[in-house]
Structure 1
Amino acid sequence: MYKWLLAVLLMGVVFAACNSEKKEKQTTADTEAQWWKEAVVYQLYPRSFKDSDGDGVGDLKGIISKLDYLKSLGVTAVWLNPIYESPNDDNGYDISNYRAIMKQFGTMEDFDALLKGMHERGIKVIMDLVVNHSSDEHEWFKQSRSSRTNKYRNYYHWWPAEKGKPTPRYSLFDVNHDAWMYDSVTNAYYLHYFSRKQPDLNWENPEVRKEVYGIMKFWADKGIDGFRLDAFQFAAKDTTWPAFPVGYEKNFSLYYAVGPHLHNYLKEINTEVLSKYHVMSVAEGAGNSFKDAHDMVDASRKELNMAYAFDAVDLAKKDGYSVIKLKEIFTKWDSAFATNGWLSIFLANHDQARLVTRFGDDSPAFREVSSKMLSTFIMTMRGTPYYYNGDELGMTNIRMDKIEDYNDVATLNEYKHLVATGGNIPQFMDNIKFSCRDNGRTPFQWDNSTNAGFTTGKPWLKINPNYTTINAAAQDKDPNSTLNYFRALTKLRKDNKVLVYGKYELLDKNNPNIYAYTRTLGTEKWLVLLNFSKNNISFDVNEWIAPKNTPELKISNYKVDKDEQTRHNYVLKPYEARVYKLSY
């Protein structure tokens, strides 16, 4: 889930059978039409979306008040970040009660109303479920730490102190990066791969698994449409605790991911919950290879159903990234799943800084066009697009100067670690302006009123000062805005199945600036041209495609002259995106 985790992981996003009563005809080899393949998934961060009661924190009633906005986007599914009861050490990813709503967010009645409102608007709801670990304030853990003989003791991983210090394990969020936390109550250490307030659950215990399946059934019975299983590839652990080589923490996923019994757990999840409720399931983590991913998601294995490649998000650096490498990653994953399995496409989420800052150009000159270009990429690739809230406005990094302004537990603990070890604090502060997760979590910018229309109180996290010009109200009225461009893209994708199921073929793979590809379905062929640079770049389509008839421009983030539309040798402006329908 988190910045360091996501930078080294592949994210396995997998789907079980869906609510569709009848299957549509096959459209490509080994590919059946399904609603989740045709969906546009919008990730919504509840804490920052809309506050209804003035406490400075987004809530469920706030989301309900904006349901028509969500419908206007053309999205067909919403993934909610955790809304369960939590002490908020890691903004809800430390759950203390899986069957209750966090009081700051509202009540279960509010959730029921939200679910009903979403469904009335044709929007499916995906819940985030964190079952690699719980909060240390969960009743299970309170009982587990109370006594070595307590019936909940084996719900977590404990190591008695009289046996000496356990085999070292790396923690992503701990201030000392030590995943074993000493607890004096029973003179033992407990395991936490993330914050010390997030003890890892022991999935080898069948009682833990039964508890999780019960939780999933509770929400499925309410009528939700899917789950995202957070950090699930870490749930299976080698509890003989073998020693890892020096420096393993630099590639810890190689040692933490896809441990013993993981596939047994996935099969059991499918048998006990997914197959019975026909809900979509999203599992974060696809292992370390294509084989790992296929072992999780190939339909014949009856585990999970759709794969999500995550390695592309690690490309973004302050000093730029290689477009050739970006093309290589997405093309490689598309090829691996061309005839079996399914991909998801994304470049941003709650664990990343803002899309346009990381992969585009958020300067005043190029923010809008580069944001539109990136949206075009996400919405025209083969696979299910995942799109993070606020990116449709082209929201940018906030770049806060003081550590006191940050909220992210990983950032705050890393700062403390560097202070304690004499690390380079100025460099760290400069780096987090680009990379910190809080950049992507600043409140949604609704309008140019106080606090961007997000809250009447003091916002839980600073609001980006550029809200006065970058906001939904202003863009809603502007037909050329990034918001309305995104709406046009969702409609284009919805109306043209070639953008969903069509074969993907990369063109000019060694071009350092242009990402060009075709999508082909039956006798229909489309061409996508994306300029990832701030320069005018020529691209001669005739070198790659010889269409018999005049290309038909379907969408572009610039106004394109009629003469330029009909030519085959194009000059793409900075961050220009064009999508053509070809005849052949």
Structure 2
Amino acid sequence: MAKSAKAESDWWRGAVIYQIYPRSFQDSDGDGIGDLKGITRRLDHVASLGVDAIWLSPIFPSPMKDMGYDVSDYTDIDPSFGTLADFDAMVDKAHGLGLKVMIDQVLSHSSDKHPFFEESRSSRTNPKADWYVWADPKLDGSPPNNWMSIFGGPAWEWDTRRKQYYFHNFLKEQPDLNFHNPEVQDWLLDTMRFWLERGVDGFRLDTVNFYFQDKLLRDNPANYLPWGPTAARPYDMQYCLFSKNQPENLQFLERLRALLDEFGARTTVGEVGDTHHSIELMGQYTSGKRLHMAYSFELLGPDFSPAHFRSRVQAFFDGAPEGWPCWAFSNHDVPRHVGRWAKHGTNQDALAKLSAAMLLSFEGSVCLYQGEELGQVDTELAFEELTDPQGINFWPEPVGRDGCRTPMTWDAKAPNAGFSNANRTWLPVKPPQQTRSVSTQDGVKNSVLAFYRAMLALRRAEPDLRTGDQRFLDLAEPVLGYERGDGFVCLFNLSAKAAEVSLKQPVTAALAEAATISGKTVKLGPNGFVIARRASA
């Protein structure tokens, strides 16, 4: 393969992917819900950041019990978002701006309103009878095993027609598909082919390690980690040895990769949801001809220390030198990182810039979540404002995911921050978020938005920062330091107190905040950092 063709097919390696939550990006028709035409209207903003691709959370027809992660038709667009023609127009606009388009694929489960599940539950002998995970009760009528649902309660729901239980990792309205049935695999791959032929450049694969369950339906053992009384859900009290992470998953991922390879420069990034082996699974799932990239929740939690970040990145590359990670600090499922790590920062802007510089200088690809470029934090919501079943079921702890899903803020002076002209939006826009709008930061020299653009431009211009090796420096807390490729040294003060670092050779700043360099000595103010060039580079 010629070098230029190889570079094009590997566009995802070191790429920065901007996640759009369609319900909350831009409303074009005044119904209070974001849509595809709204996304198309705002793509110029995304392109101006300097990212490589967009990823859209689910846009398929759905009863919206879990905001689109309960799919009732895999080859169409939900009317609340628009039409297939609107999707095609959005793809054309994105491609014209140099942006790749990735869409969310929810393969592990469907909606209970999907025609195939309605047929499957109708009898034990129909053509789709074995397309979902069904099991007989125990002799006492209880579920077949102890598996728990992530959203609360047992992961089994009784069906009076079949007189069996069906399995659901999430809501009871999200029955799990039976991947042990080859027909199910074939059908799901065909739905992906539909979108590839329509011009999408790749897929984000939801819960990619949940596809298969143990055929023998063995009980999960107790969680051997010290979860103690901090576990908010019964699900967290188990070690999910048999309900996910099954070895058959690897063969299916190879089939999926073969499909992608038919279409050339396409890519996949898989979400690995696991509390025990996520880094190992990321490596396993991206080695060989499987996924191109994977990410986990390892960097989406409360830990904010040099030791934590170093251990996670090193563990991945030590375990899978041929694999490729995709790192993220925020997404639609977790509290935004600027609020999550607030106690480590001097102020919101300083922490937002520090986090951006760190994430965007890690080896691997990167996912940015809409609003990160504004330094947004979660919206505080009352119980009556919630829509997220996880938040409603477990209120008040945890508070659920709605706080990070509130609408994008475009214009601080416009109703609903320019997101919608509706009297009421699906989730509210509140003053703390409205003040951090694109309009208040665009063109402002020291804004968080300006820093994101500068950091993304530097990453794009420097191959060392995009695909160079990452080698960590042995530095004392609270400083995280590493080299990227042959040309860069990156230093970050993860505290609100000043720190000083002595290097082996002089450096010059390529991009810095609250930092001064004098030859080999770097002084970092509170939350200060520097992306530095080696003097000899």
| TM-score after normalising by structure 2 | 0.91
Distance in 2 (alpha carbons) for counterparts of 1:535 and 1:285: 35
Amino acid at match of 2:151: F
**Which position in structure 2 is the counterpart of 1:540?**
501
- Please report how far the alpha carbon of residue 314 of structure 1 lies from its aligned counterpart in structure 2 after TM superposition: 2.9
1:570 partner SS: strand
Q: Is the alpha carbon distance of 1:119 and 1:132 closer, same or farther for their aligned partners in structure 2, counting shifts above 3 Å?
A: same
* 1:395 corresponds to 2:376: yes
Q: Is the 8 A contact 1:308 1:345 kept in 2?
A: yes
**Which position in structure 1 is the counterpart of 2:411?**
447
**Which position in structure 2 is the counterpart of 1:565?**
517
**Which position in structure 2 is the counterpart of 1:409?**
389
**Which position in structure 1 is the counterpart of 2:460?**
494
Residues 165-564 of structure 1: matches in 2 within 5 Å? Answer: 165=142, 166-174=144-152, 177-247=153-223, 249=235, 250-271=237-258, 273-278=259-264, 279-285=266-272, 288=277, 292-299=281-288, 302-316=289-303, 321-337=304-320, 339-360=321-342, 366-400=347-381, 402-415=382-395, 428=397, 432=399, 436-448=400-412, 449-457=414-422, 458-509=424-475, 511-521=476-486, 525-537=487-499, 539-542=500-503, 545-547=504-506, 551-558=507-514, 564=516
- Please report how far the alpha carbon of residue 260 of structure 1 lies from its aligned counterpart in structure 2 after TM superposition: 4.2
Q: Is the 8 A contact 1:48 1:443 kept in 2?
A: yes
Amino acid at match of 2:405: R
Q: Is the 8 A contact 2:283 2:316 kept in 1?
A: no
**Which position in structure 1 is the counterpart of 2:228?**
none
- Structure 2: 5+ residue runs without aligned partners? 225-234
Per-residue displacement from partner, 1:5-47 (whole Å, max 9, x unpaired)? xxxxxxxxxxxx9x997225xxxxxxx9921113211111111
Residues 53-202 of structure 1: matches in 2 within 5 Å? Answer: 53-161=29-137, 164-165=141-142, 166-174=144-152, 177-202=153-178
Aligned-residue Cα RMSD (Å) equals 2.3
Distance in 1 (alpha carbons) for counterparts of 2:4 and 2:376: 39
1:345 partner SS: strand
- Please report how far the alpha carbon of residue 161 of structure 1 lies from its aligned counterpart in structure 2 after TM superposition: 4.4
Distance in 2 (alpha carbons) for counterparts of 1:209 and 1:94: 18
Distance in 1 (alpha carbons) for counterparts of 2:158 and 2:405: 32
Per-residue displacement from partner, 1:336-384 (whole Å, max 9, x unpaired)? 34x4222222111111111211134598x61011101100001111111
Q: Is the alpha carbon distance of 1:49 and 1:238 closer, same or farther for their aligned partners in structure 2, counting shifts above 3 Å?
A: same
2:158 partner SS: strand
Per-residue displacement from partner, 1:169-206 (whole Å, max 9, x unpaired)? 110114xx211101222222111011111000001111
Q: Is the 8 A contact 1:350 1:440 kept in 2?
A: yes
Count of residue pairs brought into register by the alignment: 518
2:380 partner SS: coil
Distance in 2 (alpha carbons) for counterparts of 1:496 and 1:403: 47
Distance in 1 (alpha carbons) for counterparts of 2:151 and 2:281: 26
The ranges of structure 1 where at least 4 consecutive aligned residues each deviate by more than 6 angstroms after the TM superposition are none
Q: Is the alpha carbon distance of 1:520 and 1:247 closer, same or farther for their aligned partners in structure 2, counting shifts above 3 Å?
A: closer
Distance in 2 (alpha carbons) for counterparts of 1:307 and 1:62: 29
Distance in 2 (alpha carbons) for counterparts of 1:333 and 1:294: 6
Q: Which has the higher contact order (CA 8 A, sep 6+)?
A: 1
Amino acid at match of 1:187: K
Distance in 2 (alpha carbons) for counterparts of 1:289 and 1:467: 32
Q: Is the 8 A contact 1:315 1:322 kept in 2?
A: no
- Structure 1: 5+ residue runs without aligned partners? 1-16, 25-31, 416-424
Distance in 1 (alpha carbons) for counterparts of 2:60 and 2:410: 25
Moved more, 93-102 or 154-163: 154-163
